[in-house]
Amino acid sequence: MNRTPKRIALTLLADLLLAALILGAAAGAQLFPARNRAPAAPPEPTATPEPVPETSPTPEPVSEPEPTATPDLRTPWQIRFADQFTEETVITENSYTSPQVAIHISTIQTGEGAKTVTYHLADIHIASLDNFRTRTAHGTMEYFDTQDLMEMDAESHAILAISGDFMLYQDRGFLVRNGEIYHQDQTWWDLCVLFEDGVMETYRRDEYSVDELLERGVAQAWNFGPALLDREGHAMDSYETSAAVGYPNPRSAIGYYEPGHYCFVLVDGRQEGYSRGMLLPELAKVFEELGCQRAYNLDGGGSAVMTFLHERYSRQSNGADRPLGDLLLITEEGWEDRR
């Protein structure tokens, strides 16, 4: 069929209008939904998440510091003789023990009748040479000076004391007391030296040099004698002494075992039935049997005396205190306040 251009144009226009109506209806359905359509369900509420606690990082374990060791303030002698000392001061009628000093006194009697001998043995351990001192009459060096025994004992604060070497009657020789040099001449008698390290040695007059002894360090030097033991700790076969001390007599003497361990021996004498005194070989034998390495005789006779705790412990031969020139003594600071 032949269509005219006018009719064809109208047809196309009609088709376009129809298409436009169809598209407009579809768009309106989307923009304006039907009133009877069920409303859309609200969305499900979203659960609020539980807060997660913040976690701190686990710290690295810290190692405990090593405990600091308590320093041992004891002296070498306190350590070596620990079984002799006590933590507190303990005093009996014949003993004294503390952290610094240990003294035990035994009284021994041998023989019978006119041959009876009584002597007192003081076994001594000390913490240092501060506990082993000497004392001169009135604390001075006045020649030929003497002092009442118990006065000197009290002023020196002695726990234990024995008569010395007649020091103030000597104006020469080699004499050192508490580290102080008073004379430094070669002596004619046997010499006894206590060195600063606690060693005690005895010398014959031709066995030493004063300079060499001083270089070693001298705490005490006694000039009386004689020496009683040889270098092996045996009683001497002969003695460098005068005949005046060759008879049985009251005796005062010192013995040495090792640094820090010493002994005092005081022999009562000239008292018939109680104690006749000792000969020098008898005294030397006592020290040998004790196991001492060195031993030395001091001033004896009427001067021989031992005190303990500010009381006379021995019995002087003349029945009364003889004024003395010097003492050897054991002490420690403040002990009288702890009695």
Diameter of the chain measured on Cα atoms? 189
- Sequence spans of domains, the chain: 105-317
The pTM is what? Answer: 0.80
With the CA atoms of 321, 325, 328 and 330 taken in that order, what torsion angle do they form, in degrees rounded to the nearest 10? 70
pLDDT of residue 29: 47
Per-residue pLDDT of 239-255, as tens digits, reads 887 655 668 999 999 99
Confidence grade of residue 117 (pLDDT, cut at 50, 70, 90) = very high
Per-residue pLDDT of 135-148, as tens digits, reads 999 999 888 899 99
CA distance 7 to 9: 5
How many CB atoms lie under 10 A from the CB of residue 191?
26
Partnered with residue 327 across adjacent β-strands are 135, 163
Question: Between the CA of residue 140 and those of 107, 134, 175, what are the distances in Å?
Answer: 33, 12, 14
pLDDT of residue 1: 46
CA distance 282 to 252: 13
Report the amino acid identity of residue 254.
I
Per-residue pLDDT of 19-74, as tens digits, reads 555 555 555 445 444 444 455 555 566 666 666 666 667 777 777 777 788 888 99
What length does the chain have? 339
